[in-house]
Structure 1
Amino acid sequence: MVMLLTRVLTRNASSFITSPIFYANAEPHIGHAYTAILCDTAHRWNHLKNPGEPAIFSIGTDEHGSKIFRASQANKMSPQLFCDKVSQKFSKLFAELNLSHTDFIRTTSPSHKEAVQHFWSLLEKRGHIYKSTYSGYYSITDECFIPDTDVEQVQMMDGKQPIHVMKDTKTPVEWIEEDNYMFRLSDFRERVTNWITSEDVVRPTKYTPLALNSIEFAEDLSISRSRSRLSWGIPVPNDDTQTIYVWLDALVNYLTVSGYPNLNQSTWPPTCQIIGKDIVKFHLFYWPAFLLAADLPLPKRVFVHGHWLVDNVKMSKSLGNVVNPSEAIQKFTSQGLRYFLLKQGNPSFDSSFSADACLETINSDLVNNVGNLLNRSTVSKINGKGTYPSLQLDQLDPKVSEDSKKLVTMLDNVKNICEELYSEMMYYKVIEELMLTMKEANRVFQCSEPWKEKDEKKLESVIFITYESLRIVSILFQPILPEMSLFCLDRLGVPLEERKLENASIGMFAGGKIEQDQRVFIERLQK
């Protein structure tokens, strides 16, 4: 069954987060999961920061092009059935990851075809498209033409003819010479450069030079292929001999989500587009050039992240080290995998997935640092009344107050620190701050030995400062660990309406009954 995007033509949004749509030529891997989780965390942060305001988070699959057509043939399936099968696997993964996306788009949907052909016709009407004979090296893997300077000839084994490959990736390219439609990309080099440099668009900023370098090759862009070579794609309007270039097709998906061609200006442009570093050229040169040609506003921010390795080795089918995220979820749980990827993933660099490191991180942070403190502090042996004490800092026992000075300072500061880090999408640093706070809360709890305490005021004070730590950290963890935060806040008896960002400060909860059942959110993982 084909899943289609339901277009809402009159939608408003305080934020519009986009994930790149994933190429439907193979099953998802851990890198796809990381990108999706980054987007989901950004979307959930916007909900926490602006509760009740509508927000959009789009994700989906890119389903046209030579690579997909060849993959479908290799699998002895029609291109559409092949795409249905692969797209469903992505959709299943997003459900397993508990993503909060509002739109799942497929480029084979009728609404997207309408948007792409309308966009093409607009560019043509404005004089940005012309027909010409084009020749050059084409990469099926990257679905783009490659400059001659980036191509080299390599000798083959067993006396076979030499082939041409891309210098950096060594992927094969083929020489194509045919009549194509061209987009006047060179006309937009200066304006795109100015947008990148003056609007402070790129995050992290270390990727700005990469974006600017991609603009140096500013020849006009071939935006169609002969249908005799490529029939699997959207036809060029009024010319059924040509197929629209897969990247022009794919990039328009962000407009399709916004209801294009009936675009709602209160929705457009995206507030943040999240991409991997390998598609910088397409999103920070081609895409803004297309939008400028159509006289449409440009995205406010483009967030770039590095790639994922496995045990510090590039993922490869030939090496057999491609990590299937669904299988990783079975082993590490959805929240556990999500936590590890966000903690380990520094967007400015390539990151490495290790099964041993993932297991150790989950056990150390989620099981020990958070889960154990929650369970130990809520047992009836320590909290016989089963209540969250209603106290203020000036009501604490003097000894507990003295022992908790560092923790209180951390709790006073952590909200503002996390707000800044969330806004910059530095989620690994958010995790670092919150886990340091939890370690200090564990230290205070352990040193206070509440299981031995006979003095009721001291015991109540220890319970209060422990619960405040768990409550504040859980509120701030909601975008990163939504399910675990829900579990902790439910256990502490915090009402849903008191889980907002403004509640993440000491003394912002009046207390009440807690749950004293001894379920655990996540069991200790075993090798």
Structure 2
Amino acid sequence: MLLSPCTRHRLLKPTLRGNIRLYSSPSWDQNKPYYLTTPIFYPNSVPHIGHLYTLVITDIISRYARLSWPERPVSFLTGTDEHGLKIQKAAEAQNLEPREFCDQISHRFRDLADTANTSYTRFIRTSEKDHHYAVQHVWRALDSRGLIYKGLHKGWYSISDECFYTDNQIERLKSPHGAPNGTEKEIVVSKETGSVVEWTEEENYKFRLSRFHVIHPPQQHANIVDVLSMPLEDLSVSRPRNRLHWGIPVPNDASHTVYVWFDALINYLTGAGYPWVSKEQKTHSYWPPDLQVVGKDIIRFHAIYFPAMLQALDLPLPKRLLAHCHWTVSRRKMSKSIGNVVDPFEAMQDLGTDLVRYYLARIGGRFKDDVEHLREVTNPLRHLASVVDHHLKELRISEALEAIIHQLKAANIMVSKTEPWAKNTPEAVTGEVYALSLETLRICGILLQPFIPAKAGMLLDVMGISRSERALQHAQYLRSSVGNVTPGVKLFSRVSKKVI
């Protein structure tokens, strides 16, 4: 499904600005390897453009970290969340075993990350043995501290969201279809996601969340503050195995399966090599994450539940949590279950990977509730690198990209006004315009590498820029020189089809 630019803001756009959540100092500690994560994607169906958006945003920050400190190791974790009732039912619908089903779909998500030219260092699957070991290790550690107990759990359960909701988190609506006898039918849905929920009572294991108080700074999102303003209830962390068999068995109780959200959150620890068998291994681990990128619909798990689990394990909390928006079609959240999705593979095939990456960063890269207007057209070239650096440190991806494009537009206006090709233009002016244009392209080419790595690399290649002079430190004004320029190279072809 391809949409024209004129309908872009009406039909396909990110809604609800994302927000930066700070657990600790936002400064980047260069003494530790840089670790950033995407949420692991739920492979109950094929990927859509929203998954690509998450990957691209995280990849931009990953590439920026490498660009800023080339000598510092960077670990970029992504992958698939493969357990749970929804996967179990999707596999049954296709007459496949859950593992076979996950093998097929998970491969598509890995293909997406590769096709988008993302620089991930590990693609994790929760069906892997090392993850099973990490989950059961966490369970035993919490159990040994008296933080897990068995009890009766009652609540509104959503198969789609794979979680329970309290009375305060649901609402009752009239079904548009009505009951078979013509009377009005009531449905109960989650306020947060709109998913249908049903009342469920079952015996399972619980985590003593009520013992922990996770403190967040003033800029916390309103719904997180609302949750924290109420007493925290203990959380269900298992499901009876006769209802859910596709998952990790609870240690010492084969009649229960570890709840999928508890299982999934631990993947970030697995990706950092947890459990660490020695103090030296722990010291050299990537943990904690410097940045976690998530969708706004799962922020509750990452901003409340996961920090409480880490506190219970005496582990450091993630440094920053970036909650991004969702993409919508006709003002409805893009959803695999609804079917209103845009095929990311088709978009990249038709338009080119870097063009799609550029679009996603430019349109979906704002993460502030109150969008700040950029500076006027006057960012001098000598300060561009520091401006981009400042924006990306604050995770203002769209603003960083706009600063670069703004500089390129300013250079274009300069060329148009001075007309260096005209016979009556002084030779000295022509030389200055030529030199400044090349310097603009050199600096912008370096700074564009995190956003459109293939095209930026091609630009630097045709300008003869050495690969040893493409780090952030080389994006300073007159920091290095242009080599032998190859003329006539076209980086982009004119797009005849409608863009996303």
**Is TM > 0.5 for Structure 1 vs Structure 2?**
yes
CA RMSD of aligned residues (A): 2.3
CA contact (8 A) 2:462 2:489 kept: no
- Quote the residue 2:282 is aligned against: 264
The answer as to 2:266 corresponding to 1:252 is: yes
Q: Distance in 2 between matches of 1:255 and 1:246?
A: 15
Q: Which protein is bigger by CA-based radius of gyration?
A: 1
- Quote the residue 2:188 is aligned against: 164
Distance 1:134 1:317, change over 3 A: closer
The answer as to 2:25 corresponding to 1:24 is: no
- Quote the residue 2:10 is aligned against: none
The answer as to 2:120 corresponding to 1:101 is: yes
Deviations 1:50-100, CA, capped at 9 Å, x for gaps: 012111110000000011111111122111111111101101111110000
Q: Distance in 1 between matches of 2:293 and 2:192?
A: 24
**Offset of residue 255 of structure 1:** 0.4
Any stretches of 5+ residues in structure 1 without a counterpart? Answer: 1-11, 352-405
- Quote the residue 2:440 is aligned against: 469
Please point out which of 296, 299, 306 is paired with 2:318: 299
CA contact (8 A) 1:13 1:56 kept: no
Deviations 1:163-197, CA, capped at 9 Å, x for gaps: 43324544222222222111000101x2x12xx22
- Quote the residue 1:7 is aligned against: none
Distance 1:420 1:225, change over 3 A: same
Work out which structure has the larger RCO, using CA pairs closer than 8 Å and 6 or more positions apart in sequence. Answer: 2
Q: Distance in 1 between matches of 2:233 and 2:171?
A: 20
Q: Distance in 1 between matches of 2:444 and 2:45?
A: 38
Output the amino acid matched with 1:328: A
Any stretches of 5+ residues in structure 2 without a counterpart? Answer: 1-30
The alignment's TM-score, normalised by the length of structure 2, stands at: 0.85
Q: Distance in 1 between matches of 2:247 and 2:232?
A: 25
- Quote the residue 2:404 is aligned against: 434
**Offset of residue 519 of structure 1:** 3.1
- Secondary structure (helix, strand or coil) at the match of 1:218 reads coil
**Offset of residue 244 of structure 1:** 0.3
Q: Distance in 2 between matches of 1:137 and 1:185?
A: 18
Output the amino acid matched with 1:47: R
Please point out which of 66, 81, 89 is paired with 2:108: 89
Distance 1:248 1:343, change over 3 A: same
**Offset of residue 471 of structure 1:** 0.7
Q: Distance in 2 between matches of 1:348 and 1:511?
A: 37
The answer as to 2:271 corresponding to 1:232 is: no
- Secondary structure (helix, strand or coil) at the match of 1:22 reads coil
Q: Distance in 2 between matches of 1:322 and 1:347?
A: 23
Output the amino acid matched with 1:149: N
How is 1:377-416 mapped onto 2 (pairs within 5 angstroms)?
Answer: 410-416=380-386
Q: Distance in 1 between matches of 2:103 and 2:485?
A: 47
How is 1:171-210 mapped onto 2 (pairs within 5 angstroms)?
Answer: 171-188=195-212, 190=213, 192-193=214-215, 196-197=216-217, 205=219, 207-210=220-223
Q: Percent identity among equivalent residues?
A: 42
CA contact (8 A) 2:442 2:482 kept: no
**Offset of residue 350 of structure 1:** 13
Deviations 1:336-393, CA, capped at 9 Å, x for gaps: 0110011001234699xxxxxxxxxxxxxxxxxxxxxxxxxxxxxxxxxxxxxxxxxx
Q: Distance in 2 between matches of 1:70 and 1:348?
A: 38
CA contact (8 A) 2:161 2:195 kept: no
CA contact (8 A) 1:308 1:350 kept: no
Higher alpha-carbon deviation: 304-313 or 322-331: 304-313
Please point out which of 224, 236, 241 is paired with 1:211: 224
Please point out which of 433, 436, 447 is paired with 2:417: 447
CA contact (8 A) 1:24 1:68 kept: yes
Deviations 1:418-457, CA, capped at 9 Å, x for gaps: 1110101111101111111111101111222233357554
**Offset of residue 13 of structure 1:** 4.8
Q: Distance in 2 between matches of 1:350 and 1:319?
A: 31
- Secondary structure (helix, strand or coil) at the match of 1:506 reads coil
How is 1:273-422 mapped onto 2 (pairs within 5 angstroms)?
Answer: 273-316=292-335, 320-345=339-364, 346-348=366-368, 410-422=380-392
**Offset of residue 24 of structure 1:** 1.1
* Number of residues of Structure 1 aligned to a counterpart in Structure 2: 450
The alignment's TM-score, normalised by the length of structure 1, stands at: 0.81
- Secondary structure (helix, strand or coil) at the match of 2:201 reads strand
**Offset of residue 135 of structure 1:** 1.7
Distance 1:408 1:183, change over 3 A: closer
